[in-house]
Structure 1
């Protein structure tokens, strides 16, 4: 596919879907697997046996491949991380044009060192949060032009956290967005600001 072809491909329409409890259970198991993989030290035979079981599951799921916008992962607003294993297990507790509030936690899978959340995971979270903010303000089909994070304190794992975000200002296609993450005591762990650029109809 050439650059011209990519530029002429419209942004796919992504709609929320009611996935039912089965996908939620599956994603919970996936997240547990991610945590277990980075926090255990079994013998080599068990690694090999586990790899075979995972490969078998992949083969079973592979025959059900679906295009973006049809596959339910990432489209379950009632599920932690929207039902997508890349996203940390947070859920939206407020969603509207005035802003989006998200609550959740990070786990062992997200550790960078010494039980602190990896510094790269936090911008990933904010990028996702910013996407939800512009969607809530009816500015869907936007992409991140830049994202800046100020790390104020170590972000812990396995503790309840909250992130409040909103659109600070709008200039045409540009939405300037801010968000702040706090712990249960109200301590500011990090702050972020960014620019979300609404795409033109022909932009991917």
Structure 2
């Protein structure tokens, strides 16, 4: 049970209910993730790029009339889909979500490469920050924002490999939650670890 009875009202956050956009949205996400990979790896002739641009502009024209406010569209509101239906996030799946810890699997792809087929170092803070938010929610702590986030890179993070991430609250003090997380490969090797500070929002804070 949440220790904060006004949890949903802190900072003016809206209540984001799960969305059910239908199977077409899942197909769209799968195609878009592959398109992202190809956008950074394909090397066709100039005529093919012209055709691809035509299709991309057609897609934008199809979706543009339906742009909606935050929390209305299904992105990030479909827990059954990888990354909860958000193209911003790598495709993760949550396997444990309780007060003890949050655990998930994630697989990075060509889209996330920084160089030499390794995941870009800047992608990992995004992933860890998202995990920190999940940890806060899973423990019933009040809605919080990130005060700081520190990442230690222990090994190169590979693509096309299912990795595991675990996050937990190390210590809580008033409005502050000190959170830790670690990411490991299938052999249990530590790839990166993070620690951060999550600070509870006061009423009215954005």
Once the two structures are superposed, residues 75-122 of structure 1 have per-residue CA deviations (whole angstroms, 9 ceiling, x without a partner) of 111111110101001111111111110102100000000010000001
Among 26, 45, 65, the alignment partner of 1:24 is 26
Do the aligned partners of 1:151 and 1:191 also contact (CA within 8 Å) in 2? yes
**Number of the residue aligned with 2:36:** 34
Among 129, 132, 136, the alignment partner of 1:127 is 129
**Number of the residue aligned with 1:141:** 143
1:13 deviates by 2.3
1:140 deviates by 5.0
Q: Secondary structure at the match of 1:63?
A: helix
Do the aligned partners of 1:12 and 1:68 also contact (CA within 8 Å) in 2? no
1:67 deviates by 1.1
Q: Secondary structure at the match of 2:66?
A: coil
Gap regions ≥5 residues in structure 2: 1-10
Looking at structure 1, the residues matched to 140 and 96 of structure 2 have their Cα atoms a distance apart, in angstroms, of: 15
**Number of the residue aligned with 1:71:** 73
Do the aligned partners of 1:166 and 1:179 also contact (CA within 8 Å) in 2? yes
**Number of the residue aligned with 1:186:** 188
**Number of the residue aligned with 2:199:** 197
Looking at structure 2, the residues matched to 16 and 119 of structure 1 have their Cα atoms a distance apart, in angstroms, of: 31
**Number of the residue aligned with 1:109:** 111
Looking at structure 1, the residues matched to 75 and 179 of structure 2 have their Cα atoms a distance apart, in angstroms, of: 25
**Number of the residue aligned with 1:152:** 154
Alignment of 1:53-68 (within 5 A): 53-68=55-70
Looking at structure 2, the residues matched to 186 and 55 of structure 1 have their Cα atoms a distance apart, in angstroms, of: 44
TM-score by length of 1: 0.92
Cα distance 1:17–1:197, how it changes in 2: closer, same or farther (>3 A)? same
Q: How many residues align?
A: 196
Alpha carbon RMSD of aligned pairs, Å? 1.3
1:11 deviates by 2.2
Gap regions ≥5 residues in structure 1: 1-8
Do the aligned partners of 1:161 and 1:183 also contact (CA within 8 Å) in 2? yes
Among 62, 85, 89, the alignment partner of 1:83 is 85
Once the two structures are superposed, residues 120-167 of structure 1 have per-residue CA deviations (whole angstroms, 9 ceiling, x without a partner) of 001111011111111112235311110000000000000110001111
Cα distance 1:172–1:18, how it changes in 2: closer, same or farther (>3 A)? farther
Once the two structures are superposed, residues 35-71 of structure 1 have per-residue CA deviations (whole angstroms, 9 ceiling, x without a partner) of 0111110111211211111111111111112111111
